[in-house]
Amino acid sequence: MWTMQFLIAAVLVVVVGGVALLLQRKRSIDPPTQNNWQVPAQLDRADFAELVCAPADWLVVTFTSAACHTCADVKRKAAVLACRDVAVIDADYTTHRHLHERYNIDAVPTLVIADSDGVVRASFLGPVTATDLWAACAEARNPGSSPEPDLGRQH
């Protein structure tokens, strides 16, 4: 008699344990959302040659979208950087989708400052102050010129 009760109790423990384990697995908590936004580390300057009016040692590219209000602000701030040594290009998603796809731009605005070899020396994702943008460009062009040399450097 005890053997039968023990056997029934053992089966019940195994069934309850199995159900508990199944419920635990179904209740697993999703991991926190991870951003996938990446900034290109290198640009092929030839991709932008047709968009540059005159050759320049430095290239500032804003990857934007017409539907993005912040993009217009970043584009306006970047335009002020244009000079003989700095070419500024806006790669709007509507007209330059191929560039967004080639450089895996999945968040706008994305701004990059690249040297004559296309190496990205500074970048910003999202809104940026004019002061930070101008200081990052100055630091990229002339290291040691900014009191905050890490502005625009992804960590």
Q: What is the pLDDT of residues 46-104, one digit of tens each?
A: 999 888 777 899 999 999 999 999 999 999 999 999 999 999 999 999 999 999 999 99
The answer to whether residues 112 and 137 touch, using CB atoms and an 8 Å cutoff, is: no
4 within some domain: no
- Assess if residue 27 is contained within a domain: no
Q: What's the number of domains the chain is made of? A: 1
119: containing domain: 45-141
> 106 lies in a domain?
yes
Asked if residue 152 is part of any domain, the answer here is no
Average pLDDT over residues 126-141: 93
33 is a domain residue:
no
- Is residue 17, in this structure, part of any structural domain at all? no
User: Is position 10 within any domain?
Assistant: no
CATH number, position 96: 3.40.30.10
Give, in order, the Cα–Cα distances in Å from 56 to each of 14, 107, 117, 136: 74, 26, 11, 17
- 155 pLDDT more than 50: no
Q: What is the pLDDT confidence band of residue 134, given thresholds at 50, 70 and 90?
A: very high
Provide the β-strand partners of residue 122: 113
**Residue 92 or residue 2, greater confidence:** 92
Query: Residue 148, Cα to own-chain centre: how many angstroms?
Result: 21
Residue 1 forms part of a structural domain:
no
